[in-house]
Structure 1
Amino acid sequence: MTTPIDPQTRIGHVHLRVADLDRALNFYCGVLGFALTQRYGSQAAFVSAGGYHHHIGLNTWDSAGGTPPPPGHTGLYHVAILYPTRAALADALARLDGAGIALSGASDHGVSEALYLDDPDRNGVELYWDRPEGEWPRDEAGGLKMVTRRLDLAALRAAATRP
C-alpha cells in the first residue's frame, strides 16, 4: 500500500522546448497575456501570471529551429492553464479570436469548460475553468462523473468582459 501524496501538492510550472523563443513569447505573452519575468538572451525565458516567479519556462537549448515530434511519438499531450472564472476563460477566448488563433476543440466536461489549441510549436494547450465542486456531476453512488459535451462557444463569448 502506498501513502497518498499530500493533498495540497500542486504542479507549479511546465517547461517547454520551443524552436523560436520570440515566437513563443509572442504567443504566451502577446496573445495569452502572461508576463515575462526573466529572459536569458535568445535561449530561455520564464513567464507568469499574477507575479509568481514562473508558470511556464520556454527554452531553445536543444530545440532551436527544431520541428514538433511527429504523430505516434511520446511527449507532452497538452499543458492545461486553469483560469479562475468563466469570465476569465471567455476573455482568453476573445484574445484567441483577436489573434486569429483557431481552436482544435472545445468541451464541456461537467466539472469544467475547456478550450483546446496548439501553441506555435504544436505543443497542446488547454485553457479551462473549473465549476464549483458542488456543481460537479455525480453518479448515484456519489462518484465523480465527468462527461465530454460540445461547449457552447457563443455563450462563452457572451460571458467575456473584454470588448
Structure 2
Amino acid sequence: MLVGFEHIGTTSGDMDRTIAFYCGLLGLALRLRKPVPGGELAFLDAGGGMLEVMAPSAGATRSRDIPAGEAGMRHLTLAVSDVDALIERLEAADVDIVERPRPAQNPELIRRVAFVRDPDGIVVELIERAAGR
C-alpha cells in the first residue's frame, strides 16, 4: 500500500551549485551529502518528498527539454507561499526565468504559477496552492 511520495532523482554537473540553488534560494533542506562510486550523492528535503541529486565525477551535460511527443519528466514542481516574491529574489540572483508569475490554468488546484531553470537547465515550476489545499 502506498505510504507517500519519497523522491525524484536528478543529475547535476556541479553539486555545490545545485545545493546553492535548491537550498539557498528555494529553501529545500540538505539531508544527506556523501561521496559514492563515480561521484557524489545528495538528498534535498522539499517537505513532502525529496530531490535526489547525483553529481558524476566526470560532470554532466546540461539538461534538455522533453519534446511534446516524447515521454519523460517535463519539470519539477515546488509549492511556495509567494510566487511573486520568490521570482523577484531569483531574478536578483540571475536565475533564468522561463515564465513570469501568472494565474494558473487549473485554479481548482493551483492559484499562481511561474517557471524557472535550475543551474543545469532543469525546468522548475513554482506554484501557490489554491485555497483549501
In terms of mean alpha carbon deviation, does 25-34 or 57-66 score higher?
Answer: 57-66
TM-score, length-scaled by structure 1: 0.61
Q: Is 1:58 aligned to 2:72, yes or no?
A: no
Give 1:47's match in structure 2, choosing from 44, 47, 68: 44
CA separation of 1:66 and 1:100: change in aligned 2, threshold 3 A: closer
- Alignment correspondent of 2:130: 131
Give 2:96's match in structure 1, choosing from 82, 96, 102: 102
TM-score, length-scaled by structure 2: 0.73
Relative to its length, the structure with more helix (as a share) is: 1
CA distance in 1 between counterparts of 2:65 and 2:75 reads 15
What is the total number of aligned residue pairs between the two structures? Answer: 123
Structure 2 gaps of 5+ residues are none
AA paired with 1:57? E
| Equivalent residue runs for 1:1-163 within 5 Å | 10-41=4-35, 43-49=40-46, 55-61=50-56, 64-69=59-64, 72=67, 74-83=71-80, 85=81, 87=82, 89-105=83-99, 106-109=101-104, 110-111=107-108, 112=110, 113-133=112-132
Structure 1 position 39, deviation (Å): 0.3
SS of 1:38's equivalent? strand
Does the 8 Å contact 1:29/1:35 carry over to 2? Answer: yes
SS of 1:104's equivalent? strand
In terms of mean alpha carbon deviation, does 122-131 or 96-105 score higher?
Answer: 96-105
Identity fraction in percent: 23
CA distance in 2 between counterparts of 1:70 and 1:91 reads 26
SS of 2:5's equivalent? coil
Find the structure with the greater CA-based Rg.
Answer: 1
Structure 1 position 28, deviation (Å): 0.8
